[in-house]
Each structure stands twice: as C-alpha cells, then as structure tokens.
Amino acid sequence: MNQMCWESSETMKKAVPTLFNTHIRPIEPKDFAFIRSLAARLPTFTVPSEYVLWFLTRFHPEYCRVIEEESGNRKAYLLAMPSSEPQNGIAIWQVAAAVSDHSFALEYFAAYLRDLVGRSSATSISFTTQKASASLRLIRSLAKQFFDCDAIQVDSVPAGQNEFEFRLSIASACVGDEAAKKMDGTK
C-alpha cells in the first residue's frame, strides 16, 4: 500500500496539470483579495487580514499555496505552517475552494502535501473541521489514498464553531526517501 501511496501522488502530479491546465504555486500579494473573498463566504472561516497573509506567505511559503488555472483564474488556496506540537508536523489553518472545485482542490492539495511531507520529514498533519461533514469524509478517503492512514479526532476546538481537531499520523514508510527507494526497487 505504501508504494501505491507514492505512485498515486506521482500520478496525480503529472495528470492533474495536464487534464485541467492548473498548477499549484506560492501565494503572492496579488492573491490576498481572492483569499479574503473566499474565506468571507465560508461561515466557519476567519477572514485573514492582509498582514496575516503576508506573514504566513513570507515565512512559510512552502506551506501556503494557491491553485491557479493557466488563464490566471484562481480556484483554491491552502494556508498552513510547520507545527511544534506535535513536533515535525504540518498544521493546516485553511483550505478553501469554490463549491464546484472543492473535491478537486482537496485532492490536488493532498498530492501537494504528500510531496511536502517527504521534503520536510513531517510525521503528522493536523487540521480542524466539523465531525460529520462531507469534507471530513473526503479527507479520510484522501488520507487513505495518499498517506495510508486515517484522520483521528484529537480534541474539540474551544472557539464555539462545533469543530474538532483531527490528525493524520504519517507512516514513515510512506514518506520521502523511503517511498522513493521503493519506487526504484532499492531497499
């Protein structure tokens, strides 16, 4: 299964841009209005200030990305950062997309995060969402596909949004060099 995890990530990286003429790139100041506008449409999201966006993208550019079509039309964004609790983790603050692009964006960002996990040696991904949401069901499916793990509920979020913290514990055999070694047949 771990080799399939790596292969599906590599397939995703190659197939999606070709099929949909999209790519993931670092967030730039010209994207701030798009991010703020999309966050404002989602009832449980905090609309990040331009300063917060600048700060995150300045100091964590690998963790803050936008999905963009060749035409320049932005489809979705990811705001995340490395975590210190748990150590060697990735904490996702927001992933947002228009309703019509939601499933596509989550899958595309899952492939990107799979690559980021390998480059950063992260051992977990933390995020918050509502317990019985369609998003959580999709995330659980993608976690199996890309990381061979499940999203485990950690705790409730005290902000009164009826959200809970979840964590993916990434198997060491399914990240970075280990997966690359399995792909080329070496141990």
Most confident by average pLDDT, 12-16, 117-121, 167-171 = 117-121
The answer to whether residue 48 sits within a structural domain is no
The answer to whether residue 80 sits within a structural domain is yes
The whole domain housing 9 covers: 2-21+75-183
Question: What is the CA angle 19-30-15, rounded to 5?
Answer: 15
Count how many domains the chain has: 1
The answer to whether residue 6 sits within a structural domain is yes
The answer to whether residue 97 sits within a structural domain is yes
SS3 state at 182? helix
Our measurement of the distance from residue 124's CA atom to the centroid of its chain's CA atoms, rounded to an integer in Å, reads 12
Query: What is the pLDDT of the chain when averaged over all its residues?
Result: 82
The answer to whether residue 46 sits within a structural domain is no
What are the residues whose beta carbons fall under 8 Å from the beta carbon of 141, sequence distance 6 or more?
none
The answer to whether residue 95 sits within a structural domain is yes
Q: Tens digit of pLDDT for each residue in 121-149?
A: 999 999 999 888 888 998 999 999 999 99
- Phi first, then psi: what are they for 23, rounded to 5°? -150, 160
- Quote the pTM value: 0.79
The answer to whether residue 40 sits within a structural domain is no
Residue 42 tokens read as: 């989602």
Of the two residues 159 and 135, the one the predictor is more confident about is 135
**Range with the poorest average pLDDT among 38-52, 56-70, 117-131, 162-176:** 162-176
For residue 126, give the CATH number of its domain.
3.40.630.30
The answer to whether residue 70 sits within a structural domain is no
SS3 state at 69? strand
Q: Tens digit of pLDDT for each residue in 23-54?
A: 999 999 999 999 999 999 998 889 999 999 99
DSSP string covering 6-49: HHHHHHHHHHHHHHH-EEEEE--GGGHHHHHHHHHTSTT-----
